[in-house]
Copies of this chain bind each other. A is one copy, B any other.
Amino acid sequence: MPQFLDYSQPDFEAAFTALLSAKREESTDVDDTVADIIAQVRENGDAAVIALTQKFDRIAPTPETLRITTAEVDAAVAQVSQEDRAALEMAATRIRDYHARQLPEDAEWTDEAGATLGWRWTAVSAAGLYVPGGLASYPSSVLMNAIPAKVAGVERLAMVVPTPDGVLNPLVLLAARIAGVDEIYRIGGAQAVAALAYGTATIPPVDKITGPGNAFVAAAKRRVFGKVGIDMIAGPSEILVIADADNDPDWIALDLLSQAEHDESAQSILVTTDAAFGQAVAVAVEKRLETLERRKIAGASWRDNGAIITVPDVAVAAALSNRIAPEHLELCVADVDALSAQITHAGAIFLGQWTPEAIGDYIGGPNHVLPTARSARFSSGLSVLDFMKRTTLARMSPQALRAIGPSAERLARSESLEAHGLSVTARLAKLNE
């Protein structure tokens, strides 16, 4: 059974604080191994990547076959059913439409002093997308990472995906093709991250690496950060559902389980204004757990990390939710707009009973790469902006320099940076000739 918490009980604050700070994931220390792998790839390039791929994935590519060919992709995607292809294409179209609205605007203006100021957004030139192999190889994640990059204007999008024992994943390759991925390499692990960051004879380096991965991939991304940009390091996933009694307990149970089935470390929390409804959801979860394919994982997650919290009203629910800063937040109450307005920290909000979180994972349009482990307090989900950067612009007219230059001279002097001040002084002297 999950934890049951009641806001009206005297021990609530202690129990809630414990829930907030519970560490759900054992961090494996793989940093030394990863440092060694990165050093090998930096030193020996393709040869190191090939040797490590042989060791971990039991295939023996040559420099010529590291890249998956167009013909191989053609053959793989031909195996995808028409229905699956249509579903992927609908998802891609909706994700593209949503992200196209995120394209930022440049600005330029001239102020009273005569200074022309502004900024300009440009795309990252080359990006790398890590896609895990095996069970966690999700075509939806390919779309969610690749489409924002392409919408941003990334010219070269290189994907890496390990193919243990040489098995290609047709849906992953189809998603890559639909999303516009330019190159695909059959490599994975820390060696793939190192190859993308530093480049090899066969794989040109990229400027930014995104995408999920295991502990080795995460450690490698942390290590190459600075040399290239990276996206956030994702922790285990979580959902918070705020629901009143006017909901079907089975629907809410399924929403909680759709988080729990990801991973034993995932966390599903229900906050409800009605204790009896909370009990009904708990019963519905147990019922579904009897038959669910991934009942072992989902059951462990629910038992170890799940919680049902009873609160007196939705205002308290909002306040608790803001303390949790959940990755996914589902609002199933009478006035969802009023409740939504009270939410200050959440990765994504799903409003109303017709919006199960799974819609957001696949087809809604917003990105499913979202801040985990309370990081929605300070970060956002993946977006087009993650594949762009801003250059600020400033241009002084002689008149502007005359107006504001003396203040710069004074501040430079106060910071004992003489040359800074002199670079202004020399120009002002010319103006005053």
- Mark A residues whose CB is within 8 Å of B: 83-84, 86-88, 90-91, 94, 97-98, 101-102, 107, 109, 111, 115-117, 119, 122, 124-125, 135, 138-140, 171, 207-208, 226, 228-229, 233, 248, 250-251, 254-255, 257-258, 260-262, 288, 292-294, 298, 336, 340, 343-367, 370-371, 373, 375-381, 383, 385, 389-398, 400-401, 404-408, 410-412, 414-424, 426-427, 430
Contacts and interface: CB of A to CB of B under 8 A. Distances in A.
Given A98-B117, A139-B411, A258-B420, A378 B389 contact: yes
Specify how many copies of this chain sit in the oligomer. Answer: 2
Contact of A395 (B84, B138, B355, B422): B355
Which of the listed residues A251, A359, A381 has the most CB atoms from chain B within 10 Å of its own CB?
Answer: A359
Nearest to A89: B407
Contacts of A397: 354
Nearest to A107: B101
A360 B394 contact: yes
B226 A375 contact: yes
Contacts of A119: 102, 366
A262 B417 contact: yes
A414 B226 contact: no
A378 B393 CA distance: 17
A356 B424 contact: yes
A326 to B, nearest CB: 10
B389 A229 contact: no
A394 B347 contact: no
Nearest to A351: B395
B361 A228 contact: no
A336 B392 CA distance: 15
A394 B355 contact: yes
Contacts of A349: 391-394
A35 to B, nearest CB: 13
Contacts of A207: 377-378
Given A117-B365, A261-B418, A408-B362, A356 B427 contact: yes
Contacts of A345: 122, 125, 389, 391
Nearest to A394: B364
A103 to B, nearest CB: 12
Given A254-B423, A340-B393, A363-B405, 9 more contacts: A84-B414, A91-B411, A102-B119, A116-B351, A261-B418, A347-B392, A359-B404, A361-B408, A371-B389
